[in-house]
Structure 1
Amino acid sequence: MGFVLKVMGFLGWALLSLIAIVPVVAARHRPWSHSKKVNISEEDLVTELAGQPKVEFSHYAGYVTVNEKHGRALFYWFYEASSHPEEKPLVLWLNGGPGCSSVGYGATQEIGPFTVDTDGSGLKLNPYSWNREANMLFLESPAGVGFSYSNTTTDYDTLGDSVTAKDTYIFLHKWFNKFPTYRHRSFYIAGESYAGKYVPELAELIYDMNKHPSLHINLKGFLLGNPETSDADDWRGMVDYAWSHAVISDETHKIIKESCNFDKGDPWSNDSCSQAVDELLNQYKEIDIYSLYTSVCTNSTSSNDGSMQVMYNSKSKMMPRIMGGYDPCLDDYAKTFYNRPDVQKALHVSDDLHLKNWSICNYKIFREWSESRPSIVPIYKKLIAAGLRIWVYSGDTDGRVPVLSTRYSLGALELPITRAWRPWYHQKQVGGWFQEYEGLTFATFRGAGHAVPTFKPSESLALFASFLAGESMPSER
């Protein structure tokens, strides 16, 4: 209860009064029409996005101010479901970092209806977009990520897990005021990587605040891919995975096992451990830590979402990846596209932001992150007991948050198994393996890297549909 009261103080009377005076409109069936929208924020409607293919659904982009005094505003991009949006749930997607863009990654590399073309000139349709199954809301969070900003620069000095969860919570309530037909819609949260902390923390905050009827959000559950969960188990899994996949030597693995105490949270606490861990990270600079068996982008100076800034300065032409047709230079295309003035205008980006300023990750935020929970396992236990639907999936060729890290972390929950380990199938092929526990489902994706939907788009859409329906993954060909 103390936690709830602290959060209530943070939200302040302004949010509560705002929610109280704005009429709450329940989700309703409405005729599908492009000429007339019902209870929708028309000023954020996207109508002239450069290179956009023609679609039969509407999408919206813009800002929600989460702190009026500081001028702190979060940027979102919302896609209605491609069919029958009035009947489908609302899903919030968050990428991690911390400091990386859900618009640049989730919306236009992974699960959104558009992907950025190879020269940044336009967009291509994604036939496996998750808005086939749900209304999808992508948020750049916290302030300082992507197009989100604050007019108070000191806000950037205190960013951490708690601030991010609280700002996202305020965002949701204010967003529902823009889009009131979604206020009572079934609501889920999804994300990957460091969102393994963002998502459960936000879910816990919503669950606690739902004790106040005026603040109720119809949260049903959450879905996480290759999530950071428990720092100690994440480190152990990363080390064991690197050794078992021949990235490090037996000797390096042995030194780490004997000299590192990851439970203390600092792998550089002694020289032997520090040198061995540095050796592991140095080996990963030679390949893509997020996808062990695919090529790196050889003409890029950008890095991916995560803990290491690996620079590729070669002038040779890009080598396309083999798995899933994935292009390792997607980050560069996104940077070109989102820094175009006409694109920023179409997305209603603030005039206060300088052009050519969008980046897919803000590494200053990453380096100076002020607060991170060492383990989310207690939140899992709390929300499993509350009856939320919780699914976790893992691409099995990711070295950054490998499948072993997730298995170690979930093992700490000590949940009874209700359905034993077995393969799941997609289009008569093994998509991966899964196991069901009391209150949680865990699934792997065979041959997928860190950002699973980029490598296995059709399979990930199938998993998403099963998650929303509350159905087991297909276990027969």
Structure 2
Amino acid sequence: MEFRGVIFILFLFLLIGVDSNAFPTNDLISKLPGQPDVNFRQFAGYIEVDENVDGRSLFYYFVEAEKDPLTQPLTIWLTGGPGCSSVGDAFGSVGPFIVTKDAHGLQTNSFSWNKVSNLLFIDSPIGSGWSYSNSSSDYNNRDDSTNKILLTFMQKWYEKYPVFKSKDLYMAGSSFAGHFVPNLANALLDDNKQSKQSKFNLKGLVLGNPMLRKKLDEIAKIDFFFSREMINSSLYNEIKKECNAIDENNYFSSIKTTWSAKCKNLVFEADLAAFKTDAHNYSPQKLFDVFRPPCTENELNLNLTKQVPIVSTEVDMCLPLRVQFYFNIPEVQKAFHGNRTNLSYRWQGCFTANFKYNEADKDLDMLPALKNLLQQSVPITIFSGDQDGIIPTEGTLQHLEKLAEELNIKLTKEETWSFRTKEGGLKYEFGDLLKFLTVKGVDSNAFPTNDLISKLPGQPDVNFRQFAGYIEVDENVDGRSLFYYFVEAEKDPLTQPLTIWLTGGPGCSSVGDAFGSVGPFIVTKDAHGLQTNSFSWNKVSNLLFIDSPIGSGWSYSNSSSDYNNGDDSTNKILLTFMQKWYEKYPVFKSKELYMAGSSFAGHFVPNLANALLDDNKQSKQSKFNLKGLVLGNPMLRKKLDEIAKIDFFFSREMINSSLYNEIKKECNAIDENNYFSSIKTTWSAKCKNLVFEADLAAFKTDAHNYSPQKLFDVFRPPCTENELNLNLTKQEGGLKYEFGDLLKFLTVKGGIIEESGNDCACVDSQCWSGADYGGRASSDGLDWGAGQTLPEPSRICCDARGKS
């Protein structure tokens, strides 16, 4: 009878089931001090991780998902350091609350991950947060022991919360969690293979600025400093050499290299130089965000009765200190069920006095651990804040490219991602399982401040920024530098394309040309100020003007041989310039890129465009997003352009038929076939003299009074002391030719009939000002009263003249 009664009771249990919400009541947090009301529960407490060692325990904080927690996945969050508190991190990152400004209460975190998942924060290793052991040796942590303890923790935690064992499991963390998370994930998968009970239902990893290859992350930091001109080239090159990081192969093989004392000292010297400080005043916290200052000294010396101030930046750099203040309030510790052993030290977010971690383990390569997970079809997403100076974005991307190469995974997608219409950063996808996202700092416009132009003399007020400066184009040759002028688009520069402008000559300044053609300003008539250019291309694009080759404008070299320029050397230097310019302004690497120019830029622009495309094929990193070229009066085949000039003169009766026929005969240009084949023909001295004679005859002058500037516009005299009075009266713009979908050619009429000057021609979606009456490309890229273009719908050009 008694036996049948027991069976009946068991049967009732099976029918009714156990309350799936029966989590450990001792760990339930009724309410944290200063906490707003919420509709989810929180639990916190200890899990003993070794039954044979009394007091070896990890502390945890568990938060239910806001809605339907039993249908949502579980996400484990582990913070790095090593030695930082994941539980404390919850109150300044992905948890449900943020500590208030007065550090005595909490406010809801609108970006909390518990909106979509249950969250479990674990203080690990021993000595982090409130996790402790009664054995002092347990505070000597390393990767293996930490991972073993974490595996035991997870097994025991699921015994407390069995309902989550079947739920989807995600693992996440930042910094040194680049060790903790992959190691634990592999341990869970290994446990699945050995266990006959229910399995860990691992679905994916998310890592933020993870430390994966410490020495290489240090080298990436040095690259990061140098690309932003925080250290000089001399120190940079010395570090790269001394630390065995000259080339890419060494860069990736150097992970097992033992660094010399000199290497370590140089790296520290770079830290000091980057932040313009000395060893006495330096704080590693400066590296957390290289563009924002850490908390000041008076904020670091806190006590439990002092209200914590915050730095007046968009990102609160003192939030960790406010968390530390809050966690040391006795009522908070009691509500958390924390510090049950009354630890001898105050709660700290990171690095308690007793904590130690094996230095050799910090240098371990984590790519094999990630590789093993990917081979078992575990998705991995890595995000990287682009202002982190400890584990820079560039280094992490290189690690993942190396990992993808080892797994023979190709980069399948590269694009920008956005949040609420604002661009958030770049996204890279390597196949279906590996993703990498860059995350812009709040100050995504943090371009090199040293190059920022506050205001040019005589400049009107504008709503865009300008930058100018030098890019060193050869690290091995001191002083080989190109000068640039960068202008933001008038509206939403981070959503607009980038257009590079190169002026011809060769040898003319593109930067100077900006102030007489497509740039935002035109020099005023008195030459002492600037006025806005209503046809500036920065109405629709960011603009980059580059003084190239060496010797043009302010571009220079300390080596005299560099002034002997040619197409190949110029192009090679321009390619290097672009690679380094994008390091200074990385946000534009993903933007659409257009290239434009005039005159001899008919060489520069196509050559550079081809070099960028070739670099795309060879590079494993992000590509140049080239979208198109625009060329004005380009020099494409110089000798044939000279012959075309002679035809131009003759057709307008500027030279007689006798001279014309003699030139056509002597210069091997009698018929069309010769005309186009003669590009490789060597002209005789007589031919050259006849062509010059035609120039003199065309302008009715002699060699003493002749100026090549007359060719810039054959119907207008070169500039005199009195400026020309220009007007815009012509309506017909010229002719347009289209060769398929990709090649277009537009002629632009001048104003000789009505004696007008700078004519603005509206031709479909092109607005091109001025005409080159010389029948050739202008020598200096300025068509003297001409040369202004605007790739915008024609209505803008026409509206500007009241003719929409």
1:241-260 mapped onto 2 (5 Å cutoff): 241-260=224-243
State the Cα distance separating 1:419 from its structure 2 match: 2.9
User: Residue deviations 1:95-126, cap 9 Å, x none?
Assistant: 00000011122x10011011112232111111
User: Residue deviations 1:67-120, cap 9 Å, x none?
Assistant: 122221000001000111111100000000000011122x10011011112232
Taking the aligned partners of 1:374 and 1:256, their CA distance within structure 2 comes to 21
Taking the aligned partners of 1:404 and 1:54, their CA distance within structure 2 comes to 42
User: Residue deviations 1:107-162, cap 9 Å, x none?
Assistant: 100110111122321111111110001000001001111111001112113x1111
Query: Which of the numbers 426, 435, 441 marks the counterpart of 1:433?
Result: 426
Aligned twin of 2:382: 392
Which amino acid in structure 2 is aligned with residue 341 of structure 1? P
Taking the aligned partners of 1:364 and 1:265, their CA distance within structure 2 comes to 29
Bigger CA drift: 352-361 or 327-336? 352-361
CA contact (8 A) 1:340 1:355 kept: no
- TM-score, normalised to structure 1, is 0.79
Taking the aligned partners of 1:290 and 1:418, their CA distance within structure 2 comes to 29
Query: Which of the numbers 414, 417, 424 marks the counterpart of 1:424?
Result: 417
Aligned twin of 1:447: 441
Which amino acid in structure 1 is aligned with residue 372 of structure 2? K
Work out which structure has the larger RCO, using CA pairs closer than 8 Å and 6 or more positions apart in sequence: 1
State the Cα distance separating 1:299 from its structure 2 match: 4.0
Q: Unpaired segments of 5 or more residues in structure 1?
A: 1-24, 31-35, 304-310, 450-477
Cα gap change, 1:378 to 1:111, in 2 (>3 Å): same
1:286-305 mapped onto 2 (5 Å cutoff): 288-299=286-297, 302=300
User: Residue deviations 1:416-465, cap 9 Å, x none?
Assistant: 3353221011111211100111220011111269xxxxxxxxxxxxxxxx
State the Cα distance separating 1:292 from its structure 2 match: 1.5
1:195-214 mapped onto 2 (5 Å cutoff): 195-212=177-194, 213-214=196-197
Cα gap change, 1:302 to 1:102, in 2 (>3 Å): farther
1:171-186 mapped onto 2 (5 Å cutoff): 171-186=153-168
Which amino acid in structure 2 is aligned with residue 75 of structure 1? F
1:266-345 mapped onto 2 (5 Å cutoff): 268-271=259-262, 273-283=263-273, 284=275, 285=282, 288-299=286-297, 302=300, 320-322=311-313, 325-345=314-334
Which amino acid in structure 2 is aligned with residue 178 of structure 1? K
Aligned pair 1:57/2:47, yes or no?
A: no
Query: Which of the numbers 373, 381, 402 marks the counterpart of 2:392?
Result: 402
1:104-119 mapped onto 2 (5 Å cutoff): 104-105=88-89, 107-119=90-102
State the Cα distance separating 1:266 from its structure 2 match: 6.0
Cα gap change, 1:366 to 1:252, in 2 (>3 Å): farther
CA contact (8 A) 2:101 2:309 kept: no
Cα gap change, 1:301 to 1:145, in 2 (>3 Å): farther
Which amino acid in structure 1 is aligned with residue 338 of structure 2? V
Taking the aligned partners of 1:100 and 1:135, their CA distance within structure 2 comes to 21
Bigger CA drift: 371-380 or 430-439? 371-380
User: Residue deviations 1:338-385, cap 9 Å, x none?
Assistant: 111111111111431237621111255665435345111111111111
Aligned twin of 2:64: 80
Aligned twin of 1:134: 117
Cα gap change, 1:165 to 1:331, in 2 (>3 Å): same
CA contact (8 A) 1:66 1:73 kept: yes
Q: Unpaired segments of 5 or more residues in structure 2?
A: 1-12, 246-253, 276-281, 444-804
Which amino acid in structure 2 is aligned with residue 320 of structure 1? V
State the Cα distance separating 1:164 from its structure 2 match: 1.1
Taking the aligned partners of 2:57 and 2:198, their CA distance within structure 1 comes to 21
CA contact (8 A) 2:324 2:347 kept: yes
Aligned twin of 2:76: 92
Bigger CA drift: 261-270 or 140-149? 261-270
Cα gap change, 1:155 to 1:50, in 2 (>3 Å): same
Taking the aligned partners of 1:66 and 1:448, their CA distance within structure 2 comes to 41
Aligned twin of 2:108: 125
CA contact (8 A) 2:142 2:357 kept: no
Aligned twin of 1:163: 145
CA contact (8 A) 1:91 1:188 kept: yes
Aligned residues: 401
CA contact (8 A) 1:78 1:136 kept: yes
Taking the aligned partners of 1:355 and 1:341, their CA distance within structure 2 comes to 14
Bigger CA drift: 406-415 or 348-357? 348-357
User: Residue deviations 1:157-186, cap 9 Å, x none?
Assistant: 3x1111111111111111111111101110
Cα gap change, 1:321 to 1:248, in 2 (>3 Å): farther
Bigger CA drift: 220-229 or 350-359? 350-359
Aligned twin of 2:500: none
Cα gap change, 1:83 to 1:319, in 2 (>3 Å): closer
CA contact (8 A) 1:298 1:319 kept: no
Which amino acid in structure 1 is aligned with residue 351 of structure 2? N
CA contact (8 A) 2:86 2:123 kept: yes
Taking the aligned partners of 1:50 and 1:151, their CA distance within structure 2 comes to 29
CA contact (8 A) 2:20 2:163 kept: no
Which amino acid in structure 1 is aligned with residue 142 of structure 2? G
Taking the aligned partners of 1:215 and 1:301, their CA distance within structure 2 comes to 49
CA contact (8 A) 2:127 2:352 kept: no
CA contact (8 A) 1:117 1:123 kept: yes
Taking the aligned partners of 1:351 and 1:274, their CA distance within structure 2 comes to 41
Taking the aligned partners of 1:78 and 1:246, their CA distance within structure 2 comes to 44
Cα gap change, 1:167 to 1:321, in 2 (>3 Å): farther
Aligned pair 1:190/2:172, yes or no?
A: yes
Cα gap change, 1:193 to 1:366, in 2 (>3 Å): farther
Query: Which of the numbers 326, 333, 343 marks the counterpart of 1:354?
Result: 343
Bigger CA drift: 175-184 or 359-368? 359-368
Which amino acid in structure 2 is aligned with residue 73 of structure 1? S
Taking the aligned partners of 2:83 and 2:386, their CA distance within structure 1 comes to 24
State the Cα distance separating 1:296 from its structure 2 match: 2.2
Partner of 1:211: helix, strand, or coil?
Answer: helix
Aligned twin of 1:380: 370
State the Cα distance separating 1:389 from its structure 2 match: 1.1
CA contact (8 A) 1:267 1:274 kept: no
Taking the aligned partners of 1:359 and 1:350, their CA distance within structure 2 comes to 12
Partner of 2:286: helix, strand, or coil?
Answer: coil
Cα gap change, 1:197 to 1:423, in 2 (>3 Å): same
User: Residue deviations 1:194-224, cap 9 Å, x none?
Assistant: 0011100111111111102326211111100
Taking the aligned partners of 1:148 and 1:245, their CA distance within structure 2 comes to 40
State the Cα distance separating 1:233 from its structure 2 match: 2.4
Taking the aligned partners of 2:323 and 2:370, their CA distance within structure 1 comes to 34
Which amino acid in structure 1 is aligned with residue 84 of structure 2? C
Cα gap change, 1:37 to 1:145, in 2 (>3 Å): same
Q: Over aligned residue pairs, what C-alpha RMSD do you find?
A: 2.6
Partner of 2:210: helix, strand, or coil?
Answer: coil
State the Cα distance separating 1:301 from its structure 2 match: 6.3
Larger radius of gyration: 2
